[in-house]
A = this chain, B = another copy of it.
Amino acid sequence: MNRLLSLLPLLPLAVQGQDAVTAARAYREAHGATILAHYRDLLAIPNVANDSVNIRRNAAELVRLLSAHGVVARQITRPGAPPLVYGRLDVPGATRTIGIYVHYDGQPAGTGNWVTPPWEPALYTRALHQGGTPRAWPAAGEPIDPDWRIYARSASDDKAPFAALFPALSALRNARIAPTSNLVFLFEGEEEAGSASLGPYFTDHRDLFDGIDLWLILDGPIHQSGRPQLVFGVRGVSSVEVTVYGPTRPLHSGHYGNWAPVPGRLLSQLLATMWDDDGRVTINGFYDDVIPLDPVAREALDRLPDQDAALRASLGLVETEGIGRIEARLLEPALTVLGMRSADVGTEARNVIPIDATATLGLRLVAGNDPERMQSLVEAHIQAQGYHLVRSAPDSLTRERYPRIARVTRGDGYRAARTPVNHPAAAPVIAAAHRVAGNDLLIVPGLGGSLPLYLFTDMLGKPTIIVPIANADNNQHAENENVRIGNLWYGIELVAALLTM
């Protein structure tokens, strides 16, 4: 038994759940070619959020598929936003309602070279980087190699859960196994474009979402080590851009150098006060609001595979910032120089004292951090270094009054989301995933990246667990996005276990 499970409350073993996994495997073995053919059809519908005609085609098809699987489904719309697909499957006697979130939009195709047009799915014998070549889609009954890949936009991100969900529902129905929870399906069409409408949708239709006890976010890849994972949190994100000023016009660096203040020097000296030599943020209060990981989450963290040495080697790094492994570092707030610019360098450099220097500072936030408060801490630090803050380019009166002026622009953003690893609602999820993945299962307290899951945890106030299906080498967001067939097979069994946990 997974040692982590020993930390959790003892669970009644769901025999039905084990039957459901067996039924899902049998269904997939009998109908593999059909499952892939149906998935190919879904991937063939272009799905960029601002392509409103095709986005609606996806939504209509998903309503049709839900309905065909016994779910009461419909589109919910808002002017100017992709539709939400909403479905509900009530189970007599169930005392729990699970929300299942998937996003059906994908990244734009981009400018990269695709081996197949992004919305003309192609089957390959292996991943391209493993020497894979195109092959025919399988006929009924033909053996299917789990290492085959489907290349198409959204094959992993984030239509892969549909290739798990609908077959799992069919498998349960075939085996006459009922889900053990009421199910609410929420399919979003705007995630890759920023999810700006999701909060307003929640506000408009609060009644549809209030009774949900637990959200499963079916998105993202499994662990880089190749092991399945459940993820309990994401960081929030925001930014602050700061510009400091020199003379009002570029000056000859000979005729004025040593006299006119140099913005690049001022900016460097200002930024240098924000970190110590190890990269730890020295801004007053920066770490104060962080809610520490609970001991269970910390223990889960310690059990994650140690990737640091391999990552350092692959990235050409001898040292990293701060103390501790990457998994732990990503559970602290971060302040990162995303960009820095004053005039030009290299062959474009000129002998001038520039008029200004700008740095874009990225903030990543963890549980406890308020995005605006964190921006205010950065601003207070800049003021404490003697700068007068402005919100737009300083006028001449401002320049006459203040020797040091910093223009600060606050970026948009949102807070982190974190569900305790030992939340009561999490225990059956972990048990169900363990039933499918065995001791390979990893419990990840939090990812470094950001998703607006605070809408679920804070706005709806419910625990949220990310349940990844796709392979880690899926080229997410880039050209040649793909999914490994074996991961879809894992997903079918995983969903069957979750529906019957």
Contacts and interface: CB of A to CB of B under 8 A. Distances in A.
Copies of this protein in the assembly total: 2
Given A268-B267, A337-B268, A339-B348, A449 B362 contact: no
Interface string A240-274: 01000111110111111111111111011101111
A207 interface: no
Interface string A397-432: 001111110000000000000000000000000000
A334 B353 CA distance: 12
B318 A400 contact: yes
Contacts of A255: 330, 447-449
A215 B150 CA distance: 79
Contact of A339 (B269, B330, B344): B344
A358 B346 contact: yes
Contacts of A364: 253-254, 257-258
Contact of A336 (B235, B257, B345): B257
A482 to B, nearest CB: 19
A237 interface: yes
Given A268-B272, A449-B254, A450-B254, A259 B320 contact: yes
B353 A336 contact: yes
Interface residues of A, number: 86
Nearest to A317: B247
Interface in A307-360: 313-322, 326, 329-330, 332-334, 336-346, 348-354, 357-360
B339 A345 contact: yes
A111 interface: no
A480 interface: no
A88 B251 CA distance: 39
10 contacts: A251-B315, A254-B447, A255-B449, A258-B279, A258-B330, A258-B333, A263-B337, A264-B271, A316-B399, A340-B342
